[in-house]
Structure 1
Protein backbone atom coordinates (compact mmCIF):
# COMPACT_ATOMS: atom_id res chain seq x y z
CA UNK A 1 0.00 0.00 0.00
CA UNK A 2 1.35 3.44 -0.95
CA UNK A 3 2.39 5.51 2.06
CA UNK A 4 1.40 9.13 2.54
CA UNK A 5 4.87 10.51 1.72
CA UNK A 6 5.00 8.63 -1.56
CA UNK A 7 1.47 9.69 -2.45
CA UNK A 8 2.30 13.35 -1.79
CA UNK A 9 5.39 13.09 -3.97
CA UNK A 10 3.35 11.58 -6.80
CA UNK A 11 0.83 14.41 -6.55
CA UNK A 12 3.60 16.99 -6.73
CA UNK A 13 5.10 15.27 -9.77
CA UNK A 14 1.69 15.29 -11.48
CA UNK A 15 1.33 19.00 -10.71
CA UNK A 16 4.78 19.72 -12.11
CA UNK A 17 4.05 17.73 -15.29
CA UNK A 18 0.89 19.78 -15.74
CA UNK A 19 2.96 22.96 -15.41
CA UNK A 20 5.65 21.77 -17.86
CA UNK A 21 2.97 20.86 -20.41
CA UNK A 22 1.50 24.33 -19.94
CA UNK A 23 4.88 26.00 -20.54
CA UNK A 24 5.40 23.94 -23.70
CA UNK A 25 1.98 25.01 -24.94
CA UNK A 26 2.89 28.67 -24.25
CA UNK A 27 5.93 28.36 -26.52
CA UNK A 28 3.76 26.82 -29.23
CA UNK A 29 1.15 29.56 -28.97
CA UNK A 30 3.83 32.25 -29.18
CA UNK A 31 4.91 30.92 -32.57
CA UNK A 32 1.30 30.74 -33.75
CA UNK A 33 0.57 34.29 -32.58
CA UNK A 34 3.67 35.68 -34.29
CA UNK A 35 2.72 33.99 -37.55
CA UNK A 36 -0.91 35.15 -37.38
CA UNK A 37 0.12 38.73 -36.58
CA UNK A 38 2.63 38.77 -39.44
CA UNK A 39 -0.09 37.64 -41.85
CA UNK A 40 -2.48 40.29 -40.53
CA UNK A 41 0.04 43.11 -40.91
CA UNK A 42 1.23 42.05 -44.35
CA UNK A 43 -2.45 42.02 -45.43
CA UNK A 44 -1.67 39.20 -47.84
CA UNK A 45 -4.28 36.96 -46.25
CA UNK A 46 -7.92 38.21 -46.34
CA UNK A 47 -8.83 35.72 -43.61
CA UNK A 48 -6.11 36.98 -41.25
CA UNK A 49 -8.53 38.72 -38.87
CA UNK A 50 -10.68 35.60 -38.66
CA UNK A 51 -7.57 33.55 -37.95
CA UNK A 52 -6.62 35.91 -35.11
CA UNK A 53 -10.10 35.68 -33.58
CA UNK A 54 -10.00 31.88 -33.70
CA UNK A 55 -6.50 31.77 -32.23
CA UNK A 56 -7.31 34.15 -29.35
CA UNK A 57 -10.42 32.09 -28.63
CA UNK A 58 -8.32 28.94 -28.57
CA UNK A 59 -5.85 30.58 -26.18
CA UNK A 60 -8.62 31.60 -23.77
CA UNK A 61 -9.75 27.97 -23.93
CA UNK A 62 -6.18 26.92 -23.04
CA UNK A 63 -6.35 29.07 -19.90
CA UNK A 64 -9.68 27.55 -18.87
CA UNK A 65 -8.40 24.00 -19.40
CA UNK A 66 -5.25 24.71 -17.41
CA UNK A 67 -7.27 26.23 -14.57
CA UNK A 68 -9.50 23.16 -14.51
CA UNK A 69 -6.50 20.81 -14.37
CA UNK A 70 -4.94 22.83 -11.56
CA UNK A 71 -8.22 22.74 -9.63
CA UNK A 72 -8.36 18.95 -9.93
CA UNK A 73 -4.75 18.53 -8.83
CA UNK A 74 -4.96 21.09 -6.02
CA UNK A 75 -7.81 19.16 -4.39
CA UNK A 76 -5.21 16.55 -3.52
CA UNK A 77 -2.57 19.00 -2.26
CA UNK A 78 -3.41 22.69 -2.59
CA UNK A 79 -0.46 24.14 -0.68
CA UNK A 80 2.03 23.11 -3.39
CA UNK A 81 0.69 25.83 -5.68
CA UNK A 82 1.39 28.67 -3.24
CA UNK A 83 5.19 28.20 -3.50
CA UNK A 84 5.73 25.66 -6.32
CA UNK A 85 8.97 23.71 -6.25
CA UNK A 86 9.06 23.90 -10.05
CA UNK A 87 9.17 27.70 -9.94
CA UNK A 88 12.33 29.71 -9.41
CA UNK A 89 12.67 31.76 -6.19
CA UNK A 90 12.22 34.91 -8.30
CA UNK A 91 8.84 33.66 -9.55
CA UNK A 92 7.71 32.55 -6.09
CA UNK A 93 8.64 35.96 -4.67
CA UNK A 94 6.18 37.54 -7.11
CA UNK A 95 3.41 34.96 -6.83
CA UNK A 96 -0.15 35.80 -5.72
CA UNK A 97 -2.60 32.99 -4.94
CA UNK A 98 -0.66 30.44 -6.99
CA UNK A 99 -0.10 32.72 -9.99
CA UNK A 100 0.09 36.30 -11.20
CA UNK A 101 -2.17 39.08 -10.03
CA UNK A 102 -5.05 39.64 -12.47
CA UNK A 103 -4.43 43.38 -12.13
CA UNK A 104 -0.98 42.87 -13.66
CA UNK A 105 -2.71 42.20 -17.00
CA UNK A 106 -3.83 45.82 -17.05
CA UNK A 107 -0.31 47.04 -16.33
CA UNK A 108 0.79 45.03 -19.34
CA UNK A 109 -1.85 46.69 -21.55
CA UNK A 110 -0.81 50.15 -20.38
CA UNK A 111 2.89 49.37 -20.88
CA UNK A 112 2.27 48.07 -24.40
CA UNK A 113 0.15 51.11 -25.28
CA UNK A 114 2.99 53.42 -24.28
CA UNK A 115 5.86 51.47 -25.82
CA UNK A 116 4.11 50.83 -29.13
CA UNK A 117 3.05 54.47 -29.44
CA UNK A 118 6.65 55.53 -28.89
CA UNK A 119 7.90 53.07 -31.51
CA UNK A 120 5.33 54.14 -34.09
CA UNK A 121 6.03 57.83 -33.48
CA UNK A 122 9.73 57.15 -33.98
CA UNK A 123 8.96 55.28 -37.22
CA UNK A 124 6.80 58.15 -38.45
CA UNK A 125 9.45 60.77 -37.71
CA UNK A 126 12.10 58.70 -39.49
CA UNK A 127 9.65 57.98 -42.34
CA UNK A 128 10.33 54.24 -42.31
CA UNK A 129 8.89 52.42 -45.31
CA UNK A 130 5.87 50.30 -44.51
CA UNK A 131 4.57 52.51 -41.74
CA UNK A 132 0.79 52.71 -41.82
CA UNK A 133 0.00 56.44 -41.60
CA UNK A 134 -3.74 55.76 -41.44
CA UNK A 135 -3.52 54.36 -37.91
CA UNK A 136 -4.36 50.80 -38.92
CA UNK A 137 -7.84 50.58 -37.43
CA UNK A 138 -6.73 48.91 -34.23
CA UNK A 139 -3.62 47.36 -35.78
CA UNK A 140 -1.80 47.50 -32.45
CA UNK A 141 -2.27 48.62 -28.86
CA UNK A 142 -0.88 52.04 -29.79
CA UNK A 143 -4.18 52.50 -31.70
CA UNK A 144 -6.36 51.91 -28.65
CA UNK A 145 -9.32 54.28 -28.57
CA UNK A 146 -10.51 56.46 -25.71
CA UNK A 147 -13.64 54.29 -25.43
CA UNK A 148 -11.59 51.11 -25.17
CA UNK A 149 -9.28 52.67 -22.58
CA UNK A 150 -12.25 53.84 -20.51
CA UNK A 151 -13.69 50.31 -20.49
CA UNK A 152 -10.32 48.87 -19.49
CA UNK A 153 -9.97 51.38 -16.65
CA UNK A 154 -13.45 50.52 -15.30
CA UNK A 155 -12.64 46.81 -15.45
CA UNK A 156 -9.27 47.44 -13.77
CA UNK A 157 -10.97 49.03 -10.74
CA UNK A 158 -13.40 46.10 -10.43
CA UNK A 159 -10.61 43.52 -10.60
CA UNK A 160 -8.54 45.30 -7.96
CA UNK A 161 -11.59 45.18 -5.68
CA UNK A 162 -11.92 41.42 -6.29
CA UNK A 163 -8.22 40.94 -5.55
CA UNK A 164 -8.53 42.75 -2.24
CA UNK A 165 -11.43 40.53 -1.21
CA UNK A 166 -9.43 37.41 -2.00
CA UNK A 167 -6.32 38.74 -0.24
CA UNK A 168 -8.41 39.17 2.91
CA UNK A 169 -9.54 35.55 2.58
CA UNK A 170 -6.00 34.20 2.36
CA UNK A 171 -4.94 36.43 5.27
CA UNK A 172 -7.73 34.99 7.40
CA UNK A 173 -6.73 31.48 6.38
CA UNK A 174 -3.11 32.13 7.35
CA UNK A 175 -4.20 33.44 10.72
CA UNK A 176 -6.20 30.26 11.29
CA UNK A 177 -2.93 28.32 11.34
CA UNK A 178 -2.25 29.79 14.79
CA UNK A 179 -5.73 29.02 16.04
CA UNK A 180 -7.28 26.12 17.97
CA UNK A 181 -6.63 23.19 17.77
CA UNK A 182 -3.27 23.59 16.02
CA UNK A 183 -1.73 26.07 18.46
CA UNK A 184 -2.90 24.25 21.61
CA UNK A 185 -1.74 20.86 20.34
CA UNK A 186 1.66 22.24 19.32
CA UNK A 187 2.09 23.74 22.79
CA UNK A 188 0.95 20.68 24.72
CA UNK A 189 2.96 18.06 22.78
CA UNK A 190 6.13 16.90 24.48
CA UNK A 191 7.93 16.41 21.16
CA UNK A 192 7.62 18.81 18.26
CA UNK A 193 5.75 17.52 15.23
CA UNK A 194 4.30 14.36 16.71
CA UNK A 195 1.41 12.82 14.67
CA UNK A 196 -1.97 14.00 15.86
CA UNK A 197 -5.38 13.28 14.36
CA UNK A 198 -6.81 16.64 15.44
CA UNK A 199 -3.98 18.50 13.73
CA UNK A 200 -4.29 16.35 10.61
CA UNK A 201 -7.98 17.17 10.37
CA UNK A 202 -7.31 20.89 10.85
CA UNK A 203 -4.52 20.91 8.25
CA UNK A 204 -6.66 18.94 5.81
CA UNK A 205 -9.29 21.64 6.21
CA UNK A 206 -6.61 24.27 5.53
CA UNK A 207 -5.51 22.43 2.36
CA UNK A 208 -9.09 22.25 1.15
CA UNK A 209 -9.62 25.96 1.76
CA UNK A 210 -6.36 26.77 -0.06
CA UNK A 211 -7.43 24.65 -3.03
CA UNK A 212 -10.76 26.47 -3.17
CA UNK A 213 -9.01 29.85 -3.09
CA UNK A 214 -6.63 28.77 -5.85
CA UNK A 215 -9.57 27.78 -8.05
CA UNK A 216 -11.25 31.11 -7.28
CA UNK A 217 -8.06 33.03 -8.13
CA UNK A 218 -7.59 31.09 -11.37
CA UNK A 219 -11.19 31.83 -12.31
CA UNK A 220 -10.54 35.54 -11.73
CA UNK A 221 -7.37 35.38 -13.86
CA UNK A 222 -9.17 33.68 -16.75
CA UNK A 223 -12.19 35.97 -16.46
CA UNK A 224 -9.96 39.07 -16.47
CA UNK A 225 -8.06 38.00 -19.58
CA UNK A 226 -11.31 37.10 -21.34
CA UNK A 227 -12.87 40.50 -20.61
CA UNK A 228 -9.75 42.41 -21.70
CA UNK A 229 -9.65 40.48 -24.98
CA UNK A 230 -13.33 41.29 -25.56
CA UNK A 231 -12.55 45.02 -25.31
CA UNK A 232 -9.60 44.87 -27.72
CA UNK A 233 -9.61 44.33 -31.48
CA UNK A 234 -8.40 40.90 -32.72
CA UNK A 235 -4.95 42.30 -33.53
CA UNK A 236 -4.68 44.16 -30.23
CA UNK A 237 -5.81 41.04 -28.34
CA UNK A 238 -3.19 38.93 -30.10
CA UNK A 239 -0.52 41.53 -29.25
CA UNK A 240 -1.61 41.48 -25.61
CA UNK A 241 -1.65 37.68 -25.36
CA UNK A 242 1.72 37.40 -27.11
CA UNK A 243 3.30 39.88 -24.71
CA UNK A 244 1.83 38.07 -21.71
CA UNK A 245 3.15 34.70 -22.80
CA UNK A 246 6.60 36.08 -23.59
CA UNK A 247 6.73 37.77 -20.19
CA UNK A 248 5.68 34.56 -18.42
CA UNK A 249 8.35 32.46 -20.15
CA UNK A 250 10.97 35.19 -19.77
CA UNK A 251 10.44 35.49 -16.00
CA UNK A 252 11.01 31.76 -15.67
CA UNK A 253 14.18 31.89 -17.77
CA UNK A 254 15.50 34.99 -15.99
CA UNK A 255 14.90 33.31 -12.64
CA UNK A 256 16.70 30.17 -13.81
CA UNK A 257 19.71 32.18 -15.01
CA UNK A 258 19.90 34.10 -11.73
CA UNK A 259 19.76 30.85 -9.72
CA UNK A 260 22.52 29.36 -11.85
CA UNK A 261 24.64 32.47 -11.35
CA UNK A 262 24.10 32.36 -7.56
CA UNK A 263 25.16 28.71 -7.43
CA UNK A 264 28.30 29.47 -9.40
CA UNK A 265 29.13 32.34 -7.02
CA UNK A 266 28.54 30.09 -3.98
CA UNK A 267 30.81 27.39 -5.42
CA UNK A 268 33.51 29.96 -6.22
CA UNK A 269 33.24 31.43 -2.72
CA UNK A 270 33.51 27.94 -1.19
CA UNK A 271 36.65 27.18 -3.18
CA UNK A 272 38.23 30.46 -2.07
CA UNK A 273 37.58 29.55 1.59
CA UNK A 274 39.45 26.26 1.29
Structure 2
Protein backbone atom coordinates (compact mmCIF):
# COMPACT_ATOMS: atom_id res chain seq x y z
CA UNK A 1 0.00 0.00 0.00
CA UNK A 2 1.52 3.27 -1.11
CA UNK A 3 1.42 6.44 0.98
CA UNK A 4 -0.90 5.01 3.65
CA UNK A 5 -2.90 7.55 5.60
CA UNK A 6 -2.43 8.12 9.31
CA UNK A 7 -5.81 6.56 10.09
CA UNK A 8 -5.01 3.41 8.11
CA UNK A 9 -1.64 3.04 9.82
CA UNK A 10 -3.21 3.53 13.24
CA UNK A 11 -5.77 0.83 12.48
CA UNK A 12 -2.99 -1.56 11.47
CA UNK A 13 -1.15 -0.73 14.68
CA UNK A 14 -4.22 -1.23 16.84
CA UNK A 15 -5.16 -4.48 15.09
CA UNK A 16 -1.62 -5.71 15.70
CA UNK A 17 -1.95 -4.80 19.39
CA UNK A 18 -5.34 -6.52 19.72
CA UNK A 19 -3.92 -9.70 18.18
CA UNK A 20 -1.00 -9.49 20.61
CA UNK A 21 -3.31 -9.15 23.63
CA UNK A 22 -5.37 -12.15 22.49
CA UNK A 23 -2.18 -14.17 22.06
CA UNK A 24 -1.03 -13.08 25.53
CA UNK A 25 -4.21 -14.50 27.02
CA UNK A 26 -3.79 -17.76 25.09
CA UNK A 27 -0.15 -18.19 26.13
CA UNK A 28 -1.12 -17.46 29.73
CA UNK A 29 -3.55 -20.38 29.59
CA UNK A 30 -0.89 -22.59 27.96
CA UNK A 31 1.70 -21.72 30.63
CA UNK A 32 -0.76 -22.25 33.47
CA UNK A 33 -1.74 -25.66 32.09
CA UNK A 34 1.90 -26.68 31.66
CA UNK A 35 2.77 -25.63 35.21
CA UNK A 36 -0.17 -27.40 36.82
CA UNK A 37 0.54 -30.77 35.24
CA UNK A 38 1.40 -33.40 37.81
CA UNK A 39 4.69 -34.24 36.12
CA UNK A 40 6.27 -31.26 34.40
CA UNK A 41 8.12 -32.19 31.22
CA UNK A 42 11.17 -29.93 30.94
CA UNK A 43 11.42 -30.41 27.19
CA UNK A 44 7.80 -29.38 26.65
CA UNK A 45 8.21 -26.42 29.00
CA UNK A 46 11.30 -25.21 27.15
CA UNK A 47 9.47 -25.53 23.84
CA UNK A 48 6.58 -23.45 25.18
CA UNK A 49 9.01 -20.86 26.59
CA UNK A 50 10.72 -20.64 23.21
CA UNK A 51 7.34 -20.11 21.56
CA UNK A 52 6.53 -17.27 23.97
CA UNK A 53 9.84 -15.56 23.20
CA UNK A 54 9.27 -15.98 19.47
CA UNK A 55 5.81 -14.44 19.89
CA UNK A 56 7.38 -11.29 21.32
CA UNK A 57 10.07 -11.22 18.64
CA UNK A 58 7.37 -11.42 15.95
CA UNK A 59 5.33 -8.69 17.64
CA UNK A 60 8.36 -6.41 17.90
CA UNK A 61 9.04 -6.94 14.19
CA UNK A 62 5.48 -5.93 13.30
CA UNK A 63 5.71 -2.85 15.53
CA UNK A 64 8.92 -1.83 13.80
CA UNK A 65 7.30 -2.24 10.38
CA UNK A 66 4.19 -0.25 11.36
CA UNK A 67 6.19 2.52 13.04
CA UNK A 68 8.27 3.58 10.04
CA UNK A 69 5.94 6.41 9.07
CA UNK A 70 3.85 7.10 12.19
CA UNK A 71 5.98 6.03 15.14
CA UNK A 72 4.53 8.65 17.51
CA UNK A 73 1.36 6.53 17.79
CA UNK A 74 3.32 4.02 19.87
CA UNK A 75 4.47 6.56 22.44
CA UNK A 76 0.89 7.40 23.52
CA UNK A 77 -1.32 4.70 21.98
CA UNK A 78 -5.02 5.46 21.72
CA UNK A 79 -5.71 1.75 22.28
CA UNK A 80 -4.10 1.90 25.72
CA UNK A 81 -5.75 3.20 28.85
CA UNK A 82 -4.48 6.43 30.43
CA UNK A 83 -2.96 4.39 33.25
CA UNK A 84 -0.97 2.26 30.82
CA UNK A 85 0.26 5.29 28.88
CA UNK A 86 1.38 6.94 32.10
CA UNK A 87 3.62 3.93 32.76
CA UNK A 88 5.10 3.66 29.26
CA UNK A 89 8.82 3.85 28.58
CA UNK A 90 9.75 4.07 24.89
CA UNK A 91 6.44 2.60 23.77
CA UNK A 92 6.43 -0.26 26.27
CA UNK A 93 7.59 -1.38 29.68
CA UNK A 94 11.09 -0.88 31.00
CA UNK A 95 13.21 -3.99 30.37
CA UNK A 96 14.54 -3.71 33.91
CA UNK A 97 10.96 -4.21 35.16
CA UNK A 98 11.26 -7.84 34.01
CA UNK A 99 14.11 -8.31 36.46
CA UNK A 100 12.28 -6.51 39.25
CA UNK A 101 9.42 -8.96 38.69
CA UNK A 102 11.86 -11.83 39.27
CA UNK A 103 12.94 -10.22 42.56
CA UNK A 104 9.30 -9.66 43.60
CA UNK A 105 8.35 -13.27 42.85
CA UNK A 106 11.41 -14.55 44.68
CA UNK A 107 10.51 -12.52 47.76
CA UNK A 108 6.81 -13.43 47.80
CA UNK A 109 7.43 -17.13 47.30
CA UNK A 110 10.12 -17.15 49.97
CA UNK A 111 7.69 -15.50 52.39
CA UNK A 112 5.08 -18.10 51.53
CA UNK A 113 7.46 -20.96 52.23
CA UNK A 114 8.41 -19.38 55.54
CA UNK A 115 4.75 -19.04 56.42
CA UNK A 116 4.28 -22.68 55.45
CA UNK A 117 7.05 -23.66 57.81
CA UNK A 118 5.78 -21.54 60.72
CA UNK A 119 2.03 -21.92 60.22
CA UNK A 120 1.45 -25.18 58.44
CA UNK A 121 -2.27 -25.19 59.33
CA UNK A 122 -2.86 -22.07 57.27
CA UNK A 123 -0.97 -23.13 54.18
CA UNK A 124 -4.07 -23.79 52.06
CA UNK A 125 -5.26 -20.21 52.36
CA UNK A 126 -1.75 -18.88 51.71
CA UNK A 127 -1.36 -21.15 48.73
CA UNK A 128 -4.57 -19.78 47.24
CA UNK A 129 -3.21 -16.25 47.64
CA UNK A 130 -0.08 -17.22 45.74
CA UNK A 131 -2.16 -18.89 43.02
CA UNK A 132 -4.03 -15.63 42.49
CA UNK A 133 -0.79 -13.67 42.21
CA UNK A 134 1.39 -15.96 40.17
CA UNK A 135 -0.87 -18.60 38.66
CA UNK A 136 0.77 -21.42 40.61
CA UNK A 137 -1.37 -24.25 41.94
CA UNK A 138 1.11 -25.77 44.33
CA UNK A 139 3.84 -24.46 46.59
CA UNK A 140 5.90 -27.60 46.64
CA UNK A 141 8.79 -28.23 44.32
CA UNK A 142 10.81 -25.69 42.40
CA UNK A 143 9.98 -21.99 42.56
CA UNK A 144 11.62 -18.57 42.48
CA UNK A 145 12.50 -19.03 46.14
CA UNK A 146 14.92 -21.75 44.97
CA UNK A 147 17.14 -19.34 43.01
CA UNK A 148 20.77 -20.27 43.56
CA UNK A 149 23.56 -17.85 44.41
CA UNK A 150 24.86 -18.22 40.86
CA UNK A 151 21.45 -17.42 39.37
CA UNK A 152 21.06 -14.36 41.62
CA UNK A 153 24.53 -13.13 40.64
CA UNK A 154 23.74 -13.46 36.92
CA UNK A 155 20.37 -11.75 37.33
CA UNK A 156 21.93 -8.88 39.28
CA UNK A 157 24.63 -8.50 36.64
CA UNK A 158 21.97 -8.46 33.91
CA UNK A 159 20.01 -5.87 35.90
CA UNK A 160 22.94 -3.45 36.00
CA UNK A 161 23.69 -3.84 32.28
CA UNK A 162 20.03 -3.41 31.37
CA UNK A 163 19.70 -0.19 33.38
CA UNK A 164 22.80 1.18 31.62
CA UNK A 165 21.25 0.45 28.22
CA UNK A 166 17.96 2.00 29.32
CA UNK A 167 19.77 5.18 30.36
CA UNK A 168 21.44 5.43 26.94
CA UNK A 169 18.07 5.24 25.17
CA UNK A 170 16.54 7.72 27.61
CA UNK A 171 19.31 10.22 26.82
CA UNK A 172 18.76 9.74 23.09
CA UNK A 173 15.06 10.39 23.54
CA UNK A 174 15.75 13.51 25.62
CA UNK A 175 18.08 14.86 22.92
CA UNK A 176 15.47 14.19 20.27
CA UNK A 177 12.83 16.06 22.30
CA UNK A 178 15.16 19.02 22.75
CA UNK A 179 15.74 19.13 19.00
CA UNK A 180 12.07 19.95 18.40
CA UNK A 181 12.77 23.45 19.77
CA UNK A 182 15.57 23.88 17.25
CA UNK A 183 15.57 25.04 13.62
CA UNK A 184 13.49 24.91 11.48
CA UNK A 185 10.46 23.91 13.56
CA UNK A 186 10.69 26.59 16.26
CA UNK A 187 11.39 29.41 13.78
CA UNK A 188 8.55 28.30 11.50
CA UNK A 189 6.13 28.19 14.44
CA UNK A 190 7.13 31.73 15.45
CA UNK A 191 6.81 33.34 12.03
CA UNK A 192 3.75 31.56 10.66
CA UNK A 193 0.69 33.79 10.57
CA UNK A 194 -1.71 30.93 11.23
CA UNK A 195 -1.16 28.36 13.96
CA UNK A 196 -0.61 24.91 12.51
CA UNK A 197 0.74 25.96 9.13
CA UNK A 198 3.66 23.84 8.01
CA UNK A 199 5.81 24.17 4.92
CA UNK A 200 7.85 21.49 3.17
CA UNK A 201 10.88 22.13 5.35
CA UNK A 202 8.89 21.67 8.54
CA UNK A 203 7.24 18.51 7.23
CA UNK A 204 10.66 17.09 6.42
CA UNK A 205 11.89 17.93 9.92
CA UNK A 206 8.85 16.24 11.49
CA UNK A 207 9.27 13.20 9.24
CA UNK A 208 12.88 12.93 10.39
CA UNK A 209 11.73 13.18 13.99
CA UNK A 210 9.25 10.33 13.43
CA UNK A 211 12.01 8.24 11.82
CA UNK A 212 14.28 8.77 14.84
CA UNK A 213 11.45 7.85 17.18
CA UNK A 214 10.89 4.66 15.17
CA UNK A 215 14.58 3.82 15.51
CA UNK A 216 14.50 4.35 19.29
CA UNK A 217 11.33 2.24 19.57
CA UNK A 218 13.02 -0.59 17.67
CA UNK A 219 16.09 -0.33 19.93
CA UNK A 220 13.90 -0.37 23.03
CA UNK A 221 12.01 -3.44 21.79
CA UNK A 222 15.33 -5.11 21.03
CA UNK A 223 16.49 -4.44 24.60
CA UNK A 224 13.19 -5.78 25.97
CA UNK A 225 13.58 -8.96 23.89
CA UNK A 226 17.24 -9.41 24.84
CA UNK A 227 16.52 -8.95 28.54
CA UNK A 228 13.60 -11.38 28.45
CA UNK A 229 15.66 -13.98 26.60
CA UNK A 230 18.59 -13.74 29.02
CA UNK A 231 16.32 -14.04 32.05
CA UNK A 232 14.74 -17.30 30.86
CA UNK A 233 18.22 -18.63 30.03
CA UNK A 234 19.29 -18.04 33.64
CA UNK A 235 16.17 -19.63 35.14
CA UNK A 236 15.21 -23.29 35.12
CA UNK A 237 12.36 -24.35 32.83
CA UNK A 238 9.77 -24.27 35.65
CA UNK A 239 11.02 -20.94 37.00
CA UNK A 240 11.05 -19.41 33.51
CA UNK A 241 7.51 -20.57 32.78
CA UNK A 242 6.37 -19.26 36.16
CA UNK A 243 8.03 -15.90 35.46
CA UNK A 244 6.51 -15.58 31.96
CA UNK A 245 3.07 -16.46 33.33
CA UNK A 246 3.36 -13.78 36.02
CA UNK A 247 4.49 -11.22 33.43
CA UNK A 248 1.51 -11.91 31.18
CA UNK A 249 -0.93 -11.77 34.09
CA UNK A 250 0.55 -8.43 35.12
CA UNK A 251 0.28 -7.01 31.58
CA UNK A 252 -3.32 -8.11 31.11
CA UNK A 253 -4.27 -7.00 34.62
CA UNK A 254 -2.83 -3.51 34.12
CA UNK A 255 -4.95 -3.14 30.99
CA UNK A 256 -8.11 -4.23 32.82
CA UNK A 257 -7.35 -2.10 35.89
CA UNK A 258 -6.84 0.91 33.63
CA UNK A 259 -10.19 0.32 31.91
CA UNK A 260 -11.93 -0.08 35.26
CA UNK A 261 -10.49 3.18 36.58
CA UNK A 262 -11.55 5.03 33.43
CA UNK A 263 -15.06 3.59 33.68
CA UNK A 264 -15.32 4.72 37.30
CA UNK A 265 -14.03 8.18 36.39
CA UNK A 266 -16.62 8.56 33.65
CA UNK A 267 -19.40 7.39 35.93
CA UNK A 268 -18.29 9.83 38.65
CA UNK A 269 -18.48 12.65 36.11
CA UNK A 270 -21.95 11.62 35.05
CA UNK A 271 -20.84 10.35 31.66
CA UNK A 272 -21.34 7.04 29.93
CA UNK A 273 -18.41 4.64 29.57
CA UNK A 274 -16.87 4.88 26.11
CA UNK A 275 -16.14 2.15 23.64
CA UNK A 276 -13.56 -0.51 24.19
CA UNK A 277 -10.16 1.00 23.54
CA UNK A 278 -8.07 -2.11 23.43
CA UNK A 279 -9.87 -5.31 22.59
Q: TM-score, normalised by structure 2?
A: 0.88
**Residue 111 (str. 1) matches residue 127 (str. 2):** no
Match of residue 11 from structure 2: 13
Match of residue 22 from structure 1: 20
User: Residue deviations 1:24-50, cap 9 Å, x none?
Assistant: 0000000000010011xx22x6xx111
State the alpha-carbon separation in 2 of the partners of residues 195 and 157 from structure 1.
44
Matches for 1:89-238 after TM superposition, within 5 Å: 89-127=82-120, 132=140, 136=141, 139-238=142-241
Return 5+ residue gaps in structure 2 as ranges: 125-137, 272-279
Matches for 1:62-81 after TM superposition, within 5 Å: 62-81=55-74
Alpha-carbon shift at residue 131 of structure 1 (Å):
6.0
User: Does the 8 Å CA contact 2:69/2:207 hold for their aligned counterparts?
Assistant: no
Alpha-carbon shift at residue 120 of structure 1 (Å):
1.9
State the alpha-carbon separation in 1 of the partners of residues 61 and 270 from structure 2.
42
Alpha-carbon shift at residue 151 of structure 1 (Å):
0.4
State the alpha-carbon separation in 2 of the partners of residues 173 and 206 from structure 1.
7
Between structure 1 and structure 2, the one with the greater Rg is 1
User: Does the 8 Å CA contact 2:188/2:198 hold for their aligned counterparts?
Assistant: no
User: Does the 8 Å CA contact 1:229/1:237 hold for their aligned counterparts?
Assistant: yes
State the alpha-carbon separation in 2 of the partners of residues 15 and 126 from structure 1.
50
State the alpha-carbon separation in 1 of the partners of residues 6 and 251 from structure 2.
27
State the alpha-carbon separation in 1 of the partners of residues 257 and 204 from structure 2.
40
Q: What is the CA RMSD across the aligned residues, in angstroms?
A: 1.7
Change (3 A) 1:260 1:186: same
User: Residue deviations 1:197-239, cap 9 Å, x none?
Assistant: 1110000000000001000000000000000000000000001
User: Does the 8 Å CA contact 2:28/2:248 hold for their aligned counterparts?
Assistant: yes
Match of residue 88 from structure 1: 81
User: Does the 8 Å CA contact 1:185/1:199 hold for their aligned counterparts?
Assistant: yes
Q: What secondary structure does 1:20 align onto? A: helix
User: Does the 8 Å CA contact 1:173/1:206 hold for their aligned counterparts?
Assistant: yes
Return 5+ residue gaps in structure 1 as ranges: 269-274
**Residue 241 (str. 1) matches residue 239 (str. 2):** no
Count of aligned pairs: 256
Alpha-carbon shift at residue 84 of structure 1 (Å):
0.3
